[in-house]
Copies of this chain bind each other. A is one copy, B any other.
Amino acid sequence: MNLTEMGKHAKQAAIELGVADSKLKNKALKFMADALLENKDKIIEANKIDLEDGKKKALSGALMDRLTLNDDRIKGMADSLVQISEFDEPVGKVLEKKTLYNGLKLRKVSTPIGVICVIYESRPNVTSDVVGLCLKSGNVTILKGGSEAINSNRTISKLLVEAAKQAGLPEQVIHFIDSTDRSLVNELLKMNEYIDLVIPRGGDGLIKFVSENSTIPVIKHHKGICHTFVDASANLEKAVKICINAKCQRPGVCNAIETLLVHEKIAGDFLPNMAEEFKKNNVKIKGCDKTQKIIDVEPATEEDWSTEYLDLIISIKVVKNVDEAISFINKYSTGHSDAILTNNKKNADKFTAMVDSSSVYVNTSTRFTDGGEFGLGAEIGISTQKLHARGPMGANELTSYKFIVQGDGQIRE
């Protein structure tokens, strides 16, 4: 596979796709949705091969579940594409407009980023989500999926390319790296001339590898060590429900909480009820020294505060006040999602201002950090970094901008 040739084609196609009009792009998205639905048997067949390989490799139940496609999931993929087609056009928006002192007319206009390479693992539905959002925002996609899903990904991406062509777009707007050769990833990460952005989606190892080896800008979608702080003035009944939701509704995802911080004034009242509810939900509890004096739990170690359990385990720490909670969170949080439960407005404002995370919550569950919940439609991921885009990223977050300046012979004095 000649990646340089592919890069050249991608870069050329990016110029054309960058000026493609909304109708054409939306038509392609709808054709893609139709193609997935019409060919769902073909997709499920390819997926079966991946699932059989997965069985042979003895993949875990969770991984096998993520890998599995069925009628419902394929319908979900198609629905997402249709939904994306209905969004406002993200490219060509005039973000700013002014006439300069010398009569020059300046407009700041949103543009695609160019060529985006997404390196992902496991879930084959990422293939169509990524292509949909990139296409909508005028970006060419290079897809490098995991070897465990290569048959599913190949089939899906072929259908998407075919649909794009039928709609009238150049087929070079989507590139699927049809190889399980891992050394290709190394090569991709150095193709600064052809690729504008790399987005890794997957486990810790993948994210780390990509960030450390890419010479191209990377937007990380990293793990979530999320906290909820129950302040002295919190409504304790609501607090129990919110914490159960944040921990248990789907423990294996990044916006579930791993650590609960509790104000010392209400720890004696709150923790026994909370612990009972956690136990009902099969949550294993670990706690700091003070927690251990109130409820009967295993000790939490320094390592616990930095661990993303992704499981029904929670670590609890009793803190003196909102300041200690903020410091603790800024030390151990991965900057994903953190919440305060309080009826003290001053503390809520302090917390939301000073906690350095992409999404900060007052009196609700951290589980809401999600492109769909935030009204972005699909999401390309949840950025845990502060450059370019932070938090859930949709099509708008896949744009850059340029300045267009109209003159009439002005020169600089």
Contacts and interface: CB of A to CB of B under 8 A. Distances in A.
Contacts of A249: 411-412
- Residue of A242, A358, A385 contacting most chain B CB atoms (<10 Å): A385
A227 interface: no
A402 interface: yes
A205 interface: no
Interface in A334-359: 348, 352-354, 356-359
Nearest to A399: B386
Contact of A215 (B211, B386, B403): B211
A31 to B, nearest CB: 24
Given A197-B387, A217-B387, A388-B388, A408 B363 contact: yes
Nearest to A255: B412
Q: Say how many copies of this protein the assembly contains.
A: 2
A374 B242 CA distance: 48
Interface stretch (A98-106, A146-154, A168-176, A264-272): A98-106
Given A245-B411, A245-B412, A364-B410, 6 more contacts: A18-B356, A348-B406, A360-B403, A364-B406, A364-B407, A367-B412
Interface in A1-59: 14-15, 18-19
Given A359-B405, A405-B368, A407-B363, A387 B386 contact: no
Contacts of A374: 100, 106, 403
Nearest to A358: B402
Contact of A365 (B197, B215, B412): B412
- Between A245, A361, A409, the greatest number of chain B beta carbons within 10 A of the residue's beta carbon is seen for A409
Contact of A100 (B106, B238, B373, B403): B373
A170 to B, nearest CB: 14
Closest 3 A/B residue pairs (Cβ): A364-B407, A245-B411, A386-B400
